[in-house]
């Protein structure tokens, strides 16, 4: 057990808020204690960030100099990949195989935005006059409030911090209350890489206190938030009152669709990964399954077979597929949704309970669960469960499929399984989601924008969209002659 400090404007200091704890979801053991930030810490961090991003040492730094810091952070992450993965597993309970991938993803994100920082260009719009030339420039916004979730800390945090810094801003990072460890470690890595003091602060604490104060602070010029839709909607209201931009990556209830010509084994394994990896604690989890009636029974039989073979256990042990849920309260929420599904007429085909293994009794584990017998109007098909729960439904024609797939307030992601690519592409174009996977699922590229439709969010992360989201565009008109304006004659 460690006693940690917060990172405020380049200094490690004890937070002035209440005592908080980080616990290992696998057994409830204590990882660390620290004092959370308070409102005075918020004000100090924002004031330092405002000074730091305006300072000539940062504002006039050439792109390749900012890129060098991000590149060094990437190198440090790669050098420390295994201990960082173990720390992330302690932080939120994901199996090591997954956290290794998340840490590698964070390194790739820093590396990508280092490159994007160097190659990002303004524009020279097509001229409509011989009298003037126009230039389009991109400049930083200022102080950014980055608020991140507990399910993928280091990856989510780097997807906000790296582009914001690459764009020339300063960042105040507010990690999820349950998972402060990775954000503080990230601050340490940026400090080692030579980031000037004040450009990054990490303020653990309650979202309703620290996140709210950051969002409302008059010097904060953008809110970047990943988390629940209700909180995102609230932050959008705050941003609207301040007339500042937001990036909101929110909830999902993603449909996975298996057409009649799909490769059954490929689909079954992809669906299994799409819903049960991360124990279903992913906004993109493929939680609604629509299967053509001709494949429905054989596919469900294969899915149940695969789910029964998944290993649930201590995430630090090799070969584990599902670790614990983030805490006992969240596990109860998942269990309540399964009970609701049964009340609504659903049949649990597999799972639907806590593991019986006494060695797992102290952790917040839940078995992979498959439910059938419901229609798309059921609450468990409309509300985000955020756990290892799949609801399967048959369909007969594609018109019905599209209607059901789009019948959701969410629009984050979708999966299609079919051997007929033109048909799958035609279906993808009709889906109201920000990402569509065809014959794969949860495949990512840092160079490809990511975000949602409808209640799944606003704006995009990743790609060149990701860095421009932390900048504001300026137009400059340059006269090409010395002609005097005679209007006042």
Query: Which of the residues are catalytic?
Result: 249
Cα 224 from chain centroid (whole Å): 11
State the Cα–Cα distance between residues 230 and 243, nearest whole angstrom. 20
Q: Which residues of 189-208 are buried (b: 16+ CB within 10 A; e: fewer)?
A: bbbebebbebbbbbbbbebe
Q: How many CB atoms lie within 10 A of CB 398?
A: 17
State the Cα–Cα distance between residues 290 and 205, nearest whole angstrom. 40
State the Cα–Cα distance between residues 383 and 114, nearest whole angstrom. 38
Distances (CA, A) of 37 to 98, 110, 296: 30, 26, 52
State the Cα–Cα distance between residues 252 and 335, nearest whole angstrom. 19
Strands, E assignment, 127-169: 132-140, 143-147
Is 94 in contact with 25 (CB distance < 8 Å)? no
State the Cα–Cα distance between residues 442 and 270, nearest whole angstrom. 9
348: closest CA among 382, 380, 386, 376?
380
Distances (CA, A) of 408 to 65, 230, 455: 45, 15, 9
Determine the Cα angle at 153 with ends 151 and 155, to 5°.
110
Residues 6+ apart with CB under 8 A from 488: none
Q: Which residues of 354-380 are buried (b: 16+ CB within 10 A; e: fewer)?
A: bbeeeebeebbbbbbbbbbbbebebeb
Is 447 in contact with 163 (CB distance < 8 Å)? no
């Amino acid at each position: 057990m460690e006693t940690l400090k917060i990172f405020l404007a380049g200094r490690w200091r004890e937070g002035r808020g209440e005592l908080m704890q980080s616990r290992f979801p696998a057994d409830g053991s204590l990882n660390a204690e620290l004092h959370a930030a308070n409102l005075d810490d918020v004000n100090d961090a924002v004031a330092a960030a405002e000074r730091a991003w305006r300072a000539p040492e940062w504002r006039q730094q050439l792109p390749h100099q900012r890129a060098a810091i991000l590149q060094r952070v990437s190198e440090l992450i790669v050098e420390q990949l295994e201990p960082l993965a173990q720390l992330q597993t302690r932080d939120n309970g994901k199996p090591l195989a997954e956290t290794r991938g998340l840490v590698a993803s964070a390194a790739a994100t820093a590396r990508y935005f280092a490159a994007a920082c160097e190659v990002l260009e303004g524009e020279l719009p097509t001229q409509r006059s011989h009298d003037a030339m126009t230039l389009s420039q991109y400049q930083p916004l200022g102080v950014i409030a980055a608020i991140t979730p507990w399910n993928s800390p280091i990856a989510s945090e780097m997807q906000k911090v790296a582009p914001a810094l690459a764009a020339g801003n300063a960042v105040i990072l507010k990690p999820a209350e349950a998972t402060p460890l990775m954000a503080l470690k990230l601050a340490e890595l940026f400090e080692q890489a030579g980031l000037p003091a004040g450009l990054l602060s990490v303020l653990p604490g309650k979202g309703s206190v620290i996140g709210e104060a950051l969002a409302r602070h008059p010097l904060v010029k953008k809110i970047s938030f990943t988390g629940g839709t209700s909180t995102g909607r609230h932050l959008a209201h705050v941003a609207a009152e301040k007339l500042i931009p937001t990036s909101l990556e929110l909830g999902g209830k993603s449909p996975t669709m298996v057409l009649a010509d799909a490769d059954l084994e490929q689909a079954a394994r992809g669906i299994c990964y799409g819903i049960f990896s991360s124990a279903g604690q992913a906004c993109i989890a493929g939680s609604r399954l629509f299967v053509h009636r001709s494949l429905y029974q054989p596919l469900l039989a294969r899915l149940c077979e695969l789910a029964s073979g998944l290993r649930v256990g201590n995430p630090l042990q090799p070969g584990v597929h599902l670790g614990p849920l983030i805490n006992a309260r969240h596990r109860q929420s998942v269990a309540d949704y399964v009970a609701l599904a049964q009340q609504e007429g659903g049949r649990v085909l597999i799972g639907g309970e806590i593991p019986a293994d006494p060695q797992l009794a102290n952790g917040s584990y839940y078995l992979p669960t498959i439910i059938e017998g419901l229609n798309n109007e059921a609450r468990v098909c409309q509300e985000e469960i955020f756990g290892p729960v799949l609801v399967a439904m048959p369909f007969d024609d594609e018109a019905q499929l599209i209607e059901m797939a789009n019948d959701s307030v969410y629009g984050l992601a979708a999966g299609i399984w079919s051997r007929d690519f033109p048909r799958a592409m035609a279906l993808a174009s009709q889906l109201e989601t920000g990402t569509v996977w065809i014959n794969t699922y949860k495949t990512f590229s840092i160079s490809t924008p990511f975000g949602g439709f409808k209640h799944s969010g606003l704006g995009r992360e990743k790609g060149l969209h990701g860095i421009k989201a932390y900048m504001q565009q300026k137009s400059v008109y340059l006269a090409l002659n010395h002609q005097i304006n005679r209007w006042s004659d």
